Chains A and B, each alone.
Chain A
Amino acid sequence: MGQSLMPAEEAAASAPARESAGVLAEAPAMAVPGGAAPTRESPGPLFRSTSRRRLQERLIGGLLFLCGAASIFTTLGIVAVLLTEAVGFFTEVSPIEFLTGTEWTPLFVPRHFGILPLLCGSLLVAGGAALVALPVGLASAIYLSEYAPDRVRRVLKPALEVLAGIPTVVYGYFALTFITPLLKQIWPQTDVFNAASASIVVGIMIIPMVSSLSEDAMSAVPRSLREGAYALGATRFEVATRTVVPAALSGILASFILALSRAIGETMIVTIAAGATPKLTLNPLESVQTMTAYIAQVSLGETPFGTLEYKTIFAVGLALFAITLLMNLVSLAILRRFREVYE
């Protein structure tokens, strides 16, 4: 990102100079057509509108700034919405109960508002997804960056990225009707809705994210490092695992964190395949409920506006937003440090 700003910054720095140069350039230009075609009424109007053009420039600049600022309003909107409704929720339920309670039964009495079961569900699914996606994604990144011939890479990389474009409902369908029966054949005690099948499929979904971001990081490792290692007698395997991967480690780490944050935020796959039973369990073959699945479940039902149940969406949403925001920020921070190394 530091890099991404450079051209704009340069442009901005030299902008006043350019503008005044533009104005100066008009003076001789005015003389030429005036002299060459004296029969024309006046070439003036073409050039005299400098002040109007300036105004127009200002307006457009302002308009474009508003477009850029829209993103700030989006973030402010998210935070404001989540906070105002969550504050309403926390006047009725103590934050301590919310953060430490081990039961989540907001939709029926006796009501309990402990988010830990939902958090546990989310982490169980994300953890399972990480088990699938991190090794597979990293290994395919290593293959694409260090082993694959150019022609193979040009075919494989976009093909792999198709995985990221499959709609999540279709993944949900796949988890429920293909992976779950498969798991049942291996472990007959598997529930119809279970964390394992959801996490396998979420993992598959985030493979392209891990592999393509990690590959970018590895491709950015200077060739001289590899050649140095080869010159010392390293095999290709040693170059890949002891030179390239360590050198690209921050980028790889950032891709892991981003992918995990994506797994925690994934909604449809877990709603379809992981079930709707909030519980504190580490058994992946049981039905669980994630934070996202709970939010979807409540909004699918007929929950009246303004009730405590309705407000739970915002409290859980706030927790979800905070977790993913933190992960994204950490990953961006790591990435930025990494980029500075090679520039």
Chain B
Amino acid sequence: MRELEATPESAGGQPEAGRGSQFRPRLRVRRAIGAVFAALCFAATLFGLVVLVVLLVDVWRDGAGALSWDFLNGFPSRRASRAGIKPALVGSAWMLLLTTLFAFPLGVGAALWLEEYAPRTRLTRLIQLNIANLAGVPAVVYGILGLAVFVRTFALGRSIVAGALTLALLVLPVIVISAQEAIRAVPNSIRLGAYALGATRWQTIWHHVLPLALPGILTGTILALSRAIGEAAPLIMIGALAFVPFVPEGPLDSFTVIPIQIFNWISRPQASFHQLAAAASLVLLVLLLGLNAVAILLRNRYSKRY
């Protein structure tokens, strides 16, 4: 690319200028402006990365000291030195499991319908537009919905199920959109081949389209779920508790999750609790890193199949 810039200028710009025309290439000035601009753009790109590093170092410096086995395996306490995140960890695991259970089949089903079945009607366009819009609805609004529908109307209370259903609705549009992309990437020749052998539409999808699209679908789903795991606002809305001195044992128990535990600790004025918040943030970041690593692995491993 760099040569591209030089050639047209030296070829077209300089000789023309000498013939008394009004055109003055001012190449040196323009190049200088270009260099400054390029440097600025590069700096802007680095800015994001520098902030990321600063953030990670900051959280590590504050929190690493509080990390210990007792912290992972302990219960919340009014004394900072004794507090742990076991209930929050278990709560987050429950949340992850149930949210996947609710959102994954529904999301893949919706994506399949939109890509493989949907007729060209206004309804289809409306559904597609609606999904794109839902992806932009703020998380608190989903929290309000969960509070009114799952906690009150369905009388699920402030339970794990109510939280997971809320989070499932929150991540559903993201799953649908990424699953659609994965399904769309399956070459049409594969579908035609299956049809030619007499397979029905569902047989084609189940035996050919889905297996090929699955790595992409899983990658998108995992990324969407890692968003759900880091989310606190909708769960605060439905009333996840900040102080849960027990490990939830069933889907109808009340619960807390790591982000809410972090929020609770940040909200206290004492610095010792801030340290705990940083330590819990580290745990959460490691968890997310793990999820993302799985997603990237899946993508790299299977993305070159066709």
Contact = CB atoms under 8 A, between A and B. Distances in A.
* A and B are partners in one complex rather than unrelated chains: yes
B303 interface: no
Given A292-B138, A328-B133, A68 B48 contact: no
A67 B113 CA distance: 8
A177 B281 CA distance: 13
Interface in B193-216: 195-202
- Chain B interface size range: 35 or more
Nearest to A336: B129
Interface string B132-157: 11101111111111011100100000
B38 A236 contact: yes
Contacts of B236: 296, 299-300
A296 to B, nearest CB: 6
A149 to B, nearest CB: 7
B132 A1 contact: yes
A264 B138 contact: yes
Nearest to B262: A169
Contact of A160 (B48, B115, B231, B239): B48
A252 to B, nearest CB: 14
A22 B198 contact: yes
Nearest to A272: B266
A12 B43 CA distance: 49
A246 interface: no
A329 B180 contact: no
A64 interface: yes
B263 A169 contact: yes
A169 B106 contact: no
Contact of A265 (B116, B117, B138): B138
Interface of A: 1, 4-5, 7-9, 11-13, 15, 18-19, 21-22, 25-26, 29, 53-54, 56-57, 60-61, 63-72, 74-75, 77-78, 81-82, 85, 135-137, 139-140, 142-144, 146-149, 156, 159-160, 162-163, 165-174, 176-178, 204, 207-208, 211, 230-238, 240-241, 258, 261-262, 264-268, 271-272, 292, 295-296, 299-300, 305, 313-314, 317, 320-321, 324-325, 327-329, 332
28 contacts: A4-B128, A7-B184, A8-B117, A12-B118, A25-B197, A25-B198, A60-B202, A63-B109, A67-B112, A139-B41, A140-B41, A163-B48, A166-B285, A169-B262, A170-B285, A172-B263, A173-B281, A211-B45, A233-B9, A238-B30, A238-B34, A258-B136, A261-B136, A265-B140, A268-B232, A317-B140, A317-B141, A332-B132
Contacts of A66: 109
B128 A1 contact: yes
Binding site of A, secondary structure by majority: helix, strand, loop or mixed?
A: helix
B52 A159 contact: yes
A158 to B, nearest CB: 8
Given A143-B42, A167-B288, A266 B130 contact: no
Interface of B: 1, 4-5, 8-9, 12-13, 25, 27, 30-31, 33-34, 37-38, 40-45, 47-49, 51-52, 54-55, 58-59, 62, 105-110, 112-120, 124-134, 136-145, 147-149, 152, 169, 172-173, 176, 180, 184, 188, 191, 195-202, 223, 226-227, 229-233, 236-237, 239, 259, 262-263, 266-267, 274, 277-278, 281, 284-285, 288, 292
B169 A265 contact: no
A317 B263 contact: no
A71 B110 contact: yes
B143 A266 contact: no
B286 to A, nearest CB: 12
A28 B292 CA distance: 50
Contacts of B119: 9, 12
A70 B172 contact: yes
Nearest to A53: B200
B48 A208 contact: yes
A81 B130 contact: no
> At the interface, is chain B mostly helix, strand, loop or mixed?
helix
A249 B222 CA distance: 32
Contact of B109 (A68, A142, A233, A321): A68
A169 B105 CA distance: 29
Contact of A178 (B54, B130, B152, B199): B54
Contact of A21 (B118, B131, B195, B281): B195
B12 A233 contact: yes
B138 A4 contact: no
B188 to A, nearest CB: 7
A172 B45 contact: no
B59 A12 contact: no
A259 to B, nearest CB: 10
A180 B125 CA distance: 46
A73 to B, nearest CB: 10
A207 B49 CA distance: 11
B127 A72 contact: yes
B120 A57 contact: no
Contacts of A64: 109-110, 112-113, 116-117
A81 B277 contact: no
A276 B274 CA distance: 19
